Structure 1
Amino acid sequence: MKTQAVVFPEAERFEMRELTLDEMGEKDICVRTLVTAISPGTERWILKGKHIGTKFPCVPGYHRIGIVEKCGKDVKLFKPGDIVYGSGNRWKEDIYSMWGAHCGYSVSGPEGYTFISSTMPDTYELETTVFTIVAAVAYRGISFLEVKKGEKLLIIGAGFIGLCAAQLATIRQASPIFMETCPERRFFAQSLGYPAFSPDEIDKKIKEIAPEGVDIIYDTAGVPPAIDKAVGFAKRWGKLLLQAQYFDKEHRAIDLDQIKIKEMTIKTTCGTSDDDWDATFTEIKKRRLKIGQLITHRFESSECLKGYKLLLEGKPFNLGIVFFWNR
């Protein structure tokens, strides 16, 4: 079986290729893709060749919902017609899988898939729940921090994860504040009702909003000078979550002394758990976590490369990018 797939042949290049899938075995399932979505942080780092373990050429992505078309005779977990979430795949070409979600069909064992429904979700549910993994990163962060009612969070970076974290903090009746260098991202966060300021103006604004300091610093950007500046606004015995990518060994040192002086607790997360995924999926389905308002671009699968051009160039402004493969 042949399928179309997004391939990164080398750093900062992307193209569509036809791949030949492995033959199905008795323990395999064949899944036809309905929708995929770019994970803006991870896939940008892969595209730039900086993500840990990146190998070229590769098929990127881990956000994918599809429908089971065939099951091997030994498969008990799924049946044809089931709607599933996952990105397991095998193909004959010498192309690596960097989770391999962005393709039209897949053949693999069922282990990499999660059952969603026995009936077809509507378009809105498909395009929002497909972002469950990246949103679950924010869920894990807020859970690790044990965010409480009345607390103030300073979130560094108003990207997809930061905006999800702000929503989840608000559900817990905490108050998020953004520090963001990009004017378009600041405006977008403000349009959703969140205070968002540039590093140049945040000193004055924090004094107005949180004169006693903030309880939590939530880093999604991985820029040491921004972390150092934010820590200056933290209360004594506050918390610092490091949840960005810190690949650049030459420029990732932060000022530990001021963290020590304030006796702050440093927390980190990496990836998500099945429990995070389940809880986040539920929050999205219940529309408490509003992913729809974070989707800025929707493309047919034949236009995937337009999405990656946006991702690489960063212009025009974009956050959630979705690809529809079923129409």
Structure 2
Amino acid sequence: MKAIAYTQHGLPIEDDNSLIDIDLPKPVPGARDLSVEIRAISVNPADTKLRRNVATSEPRVLGWDAVGIVREIGSEVTLFQPGDEVFYAGSIARPGSYSEFHLVDERIVGHKPSSLSNAEAVALPLTAITAWELLFDRLGVAENGGEGETLLITGAAGGVGSILVQLARQLTHLTIIGTASREETRDWALQLGAHHVIDHSRSITEELSRIGIEQVTHVASLTHTDSHYAQLIEALAPQGKLALIDDPESLDAMPLKRKSLSLHWEFMFARPLFETPDMIRQHQLLERISTLIDQQRLKTTLGEHFGLISAANLRRAHAFIESNRARGKVVLEGFPS
């Protein structure tokens, strides 16, 4: 089968060898696996970070967002049947979805929203899981809760921010403040449901004062946490909650003590990586996301379509992600004939 992999980490994405086309044997499903024929993928910052930073002794296939059709099922599979259209984000401990066929545990897979195309649907799984777990599991906001509380989302127009804004607006009563530094990303966040958008290239506390908000109760820091950390602590009300998803070089928790702030890290691969007892919650939340999409309460976060799934197009997609100028998600669809 066709696949795209890297063999040497750390190469600049402009190097033709940073991602290459290869052929691999078609994988055989284990007991709880689905064998999925891949129709579309999307590219996440996790893909680019692994390619840059993680050494490999053999070709490593990246990619953890997929839409496809179930072709085979393992002996213990109960949630899906061959022919089902599915979407999912996979496990970081297994080969990725840059391949014609892909194995994934059924407990982290959902039925694809019927109202979306493959490209529209594949923009959602990884970021939707991240946003859902961050909002409801890490920050502890209850569905239909949040009355009188405020959520600040840094990087609200990115992949995770684009779905987090929607989830918070549709399923809670939080006041949502997004951050963006360009007019197009500001408009995007407002269209998705943010009540306010402030400029994170300026002082966050001054920007909050400008819109009449002195403190917030919850912060979702999605990018450049190390740059904004002190300001986010200043902006949080006593006993507030800070959750992040990025990778600051270091993080000193001591400044949180004075306000009795809590710190939460969201890593959506934790459940499949450790096969936690509640791993099936990712199946359940993807099913819920699919229903909300088909009810037109949520919409796709597709930002850019980069064409067929090939090494050349994936190099372009990685370069775009690394530019930090992506709005929504970057997707690719179909393999060259």
TM score, norm. by length of structure 2:
0.75
Q: Secondary structure at the match of 1:21?
A: coil
Equivalent residue, structure 2, for 1:267: 264
Alpha-carbon contact 2:88-2:125 (below 8 Å) kept: no
Distance of 1:290 and 1:142 partners within structure 2: 16
Equivalent residue, structure 1, for 2:288: 282
Q: CA deviation at 1:20?
A: 2.5
Q: CA deviation at 1:5?
A: 1.1
Alpha-carbon contact 2:110-2:286 (below 8 Å) kept: no
Greater Rg over alpha carbons, structure: 1
Equivalent residue, structure 2, for 1:128: 121
Equivalent residue, structure 2, for 1:92: none
Give the counterpart letter for 1:146 in structure 2. G
Distance of 1:16 and 1:128 partners within structure 2: 25
1:276-315 residue pairs with structure 2 within 5 A? 276-287=282-293, 290-292=298-300, 294-303=301-310, 305-314=312-321
Alpha-carbon contact 1:36-1:322 (below 8 Å) kept: yes
Alpha-carbon contact 1:26-1:75 (below 8 Å) kept: yes
Alpha-carbon contact 1:65-1:130 (below 8 Å) kept: no
Give the counterpart letter for 1:176 in structure 2. I
Alpha-carbon contact 2:42-2:122 (below 8 Å) kept: no
More deviation in 134-143 or 278-287? 278-287
Q: CA deviation at 1:104?
A: 1.0
Distance of 1:237 and 1:265 partners within structure 2: 7
Q: Secondary structure at the match of 1:232?
A: helix
Determine which of 132, 153, 156 is the counterpart of 2:154.
156
Higher RCO, Cα 8 Å, sep 6+: 2
Equivalent residue, structure 2, for 1:253: 251
Distance of 1:87 and 1:139 partners within structure 2: 13
Distance of 1:286 and 1:207 partners within structure 2: 34
Alpha-carbon contact 2:151-2:218 (below 8 Å) kept: yes
Give the counterpart letter for 2:5 in structure 1. V
Q: Deviations over 1:85-104 (max 9, x none)?
A: 45889xxxxxx975411111
Distance of 1:313 and 1:229 partners within structure 2: 28
Determine which of 44, 47, 64 is the counterpart of 1:43.
47
1:1-327 residue pairs with structure 2 within 5 A? 3-10=1-8, 11=10, 12=13, 13-22=18-27, 30-38=35-43, 40-49=44-53, 57-70=59-72, 74=75, 77=78, 79-85=81-87, 99-106=95-102, 114=109, 116=111, 121=114, 123-124=116-117, 127-128=120-121, 131-143=124-136, 144-147=138-141, 148-158=146-156, 159-171=158-170, 172-180=172-180, 185-192=185-192, 194=194, 195-246=197-248, 248=249, 252-254=250-252, 256-257=254-255, 259-271=256-268, 273-287=279-293, 290-292=298-300, 294-303=301-310, 305-314=312-321, 317-325=326-334
Distance of 1:146 and 1:187 partners within structure 2: 28
More deviation in 164-173 or 181-190? 181-190
Distance change in 2, residues 1:279/1:154 (3 Å): same
Q: CA deviation at 1:207?
A: 1.1
Distance change in 2, residues 1:55/1:238 (3 Å): farther
Q: Secondary structure at the match of 2:165?
A: helix
Q: Structure 1: where are the runs of 5+ without partners? A: 90-95
Distance of 2:222 and 2:89 partners within structure 1: 25
Number of equivalent positions:
306
Q: CA deviation at 1:134?
A: 2.2
Give the counterpart letter for 1:230 in structure 2. L
Give the counterpart letter for 1:156 in structure 2. T
The alignment-based identity, stated in percent, is 18
Alpha-carbon contact 2:87-2:122 (below 8 Å) kept: no
Alpha-carbon contact 2:107-2:280 (below 8 Å) kept: no
Q: CA deviation at 1:281?
A: 3.6
Distance of 1:80 and 1:207 partners within structure 2: 55
Q: Secondary structure at the match of 1:34?
A: strand
Q: Secondary structure at the match of 2:117?
A: helix
Q: Secondary structure at the match of 1:261?
A: coil
